[in-house]
């Protein structure tokens, strides 16, 4: 299974939001699923448009359609609906991934700087 591709259940959930018809004179006009797979690849890899694999289409066409969809607000509408229906079953935040800055724990802000007030009395003793 390709990790960059949408699963069938994911595609069924969002295919109603994509613009364009399903049939042209000579068959489907565009492959919206392949286009969304290309966007997922771009988001996951952080690559440039030119690095897009050929199996996902010509990078110039994908880039042009991406900017058209941004202008039309298609992606914003899709993300709003999907955010309302978010599946948060597997969401978890624990202290192993939340880091505090060293100064939040009472460390000195400058080397040789003042000590926190609670420690001043201890240092005098």
Q: For 33-59, write each residue's pLDDT tens digit.
A: 899 999 999 988 888 999 999 999 899
Q: Token pair of 47, please? A: 């690559």
Residue 65 CB neighbours (<10 A): 19
pLDDT of 117: 62
Residue 106 lies in a domain: no
pLDDT of 91: 73
pLDDT of 107: 58
pTM of the model: 0.62
Residue 63 lies in a domain: yes
Residue 90 lies in a domain: no
Residue 102 lies in a domain: no
Range of the domain at 19: 8-84
Domain count within the chain: 1
Q: State pLDDT tens for residues 85-112.
A: 777 777 776 666 566 666 666 655 666 6
> Which residue in 26, 33, 28 sits closest to 65, CA to CA?
33
Residue 89 lies in a domain: no
């Amino acid at each position: 299974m390709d990790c960059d591709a949408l699963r069938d259940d994911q595609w069924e959930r969002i295919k109603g939001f994509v613009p364009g018809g399903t049939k042209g004179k000579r068959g489907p006009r565009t492959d919206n699923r392949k286009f969304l797979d290309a966007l997922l690849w771009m988001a996951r890899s952080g690559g440039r448009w030119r690095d897009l694999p050929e199996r996902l289409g010509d990078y110039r066409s994908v880039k042009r359609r991406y900017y058209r969809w941004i202008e039309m607000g298609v992606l914003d509408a899709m993300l709003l609906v999907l955010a309302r229906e978010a599946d948060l079953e597997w969401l978890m935040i624990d202290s192993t991934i939340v880091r505090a800055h060293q100064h939040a724990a009472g460390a000195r802000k400058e080397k040789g700087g003042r000590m926190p007030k609670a420690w001043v009395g201890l240092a005098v003793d």
